[in-house]
Amino acid sequence: MNFLITGAAGFLGSALANRLAREGHEVRGLDDLSTGDPQALSPDVLFTRGDVNDRPKLWTLLQEVDCVFHLAARVSVPESVLYPREYNAVNVGGTVSLMEAMRDVGVRRVVLISSGAVYGDQGEQPLRESATPNPHSPYAVSKLAAEYYVRTIGDLWNIETVSLRVFNAYGPGQHLPASHPPVIPFFLRQAVRGGTLVVHGSGSQTRDYVFIDDVLRCMLAAATAPGLNHAVINVGSGNETSTRELVRLVLETTQSKAEMITHSRTDPGVSRMCADLTLAREKLGYQPRISLAEGLRLTLERDARFSKDIPTRPLP
């Protein structure tokens, strides 16, 4: 098959592009490199630097494409609070530009990578796709708006649409920006360096952490599975883990004596998050394979940034 991946140089995008290329598909990648790393991409991926709002460039890249994976987005919740206009321009405007270009060229399927953040605080867990969204940030609003645009424009122009609400994905190669880094790679780096692990709030807040290999299996299935038009599907592990439990696992995995401190005056965000995976099992044949403990171990083993920081320990 022929694929276009927007946001191809990002954490999920590069892993997906490389997997598809290894399997023999033709893969075109688009990324503006505002946060992505083109060095993460296989030479077999046909990479183009560009903006997802550039429709003439999209028209060129979409020729003879069977399916688009749309991952191009700004993804920092705290940053979106400061810059909501920019998040709307990229996450919403970019989605509309892509759908218009797909309409013009005649591409017939798109898989949008959305986010579990659209749920916000809910009274019941695990979170089902039928729950009324309650977004708490401009980032979450932009992802929800993108879902609606994809479905509506798809309906108008006979484009099959699938939205995957990915929860807290992690794994080797995840970006570590200086400001607001993702919690798992940040905790791992602090632990292997003997630094401090800061827990915001009480540490009882929970998240659903899902390893990248499991996410990729869902994404690949969504490209070809039948009967998915209009589907909105959760992608997670189906387990909720508190921040304190995450710290314990990180320290255990790294054999670190790093210190944990709490910062009770900061907002820890949504109190609980856990994905209901019923639809993913029914529609995509999905069953998570990697536990959080195993995923942390694999991240340490596969990511050279961490392995070079792990001190040599005597054999028992």
- Residues marked active site are found at 139
Please tell me the number of Cα atoms within 13 Å of 144 on its side-chain side: 17
Widest distance between CA atoms in the chain:
65
26-31/46-49 β-pairing? parallel
Give, in degrees to the nearest 5, the angle at Cα 99 between 96 and 102: 150
Which of 75, 109, 118 is CA-nearest to residue 94?
Answer: 75
199 forms beta bridges with 262
67-70/109-115 β-pairing? parallel
Which of 173, 149, 172 is CA-nearest to residue 161?
Answer: 149
> 127: which DSSP letter?
B
What are the backbone dihedrals phi and psi of residue 55, each rounded to the nearest 5 degrees, phi first? -65, -40
Q: Are 65 and 2 in contact (CB under 8 A)?
A: yes
> 64: which DSSP letter?
T
Q: Are 296 and 249 in contact (CB under 8 A)?
A: yes
> DSSP string covering 12-60, please?
HHHHHHHHHHHTT-EEEEEE--SS--GGGS-TTSEEEE--TT-HHHHHH
Residues 6 or more apart from 311 whose CB is under 8 A from it? 192
Q: Quote the CA–CA distance of 114 and 222 in Å, as a whole number.
A: 13
Strand, helix or coil at 213?
Answer: helix
Q: Quote the CA–CA distance of 235 and 256 in Å, as a whole number.
A: 31
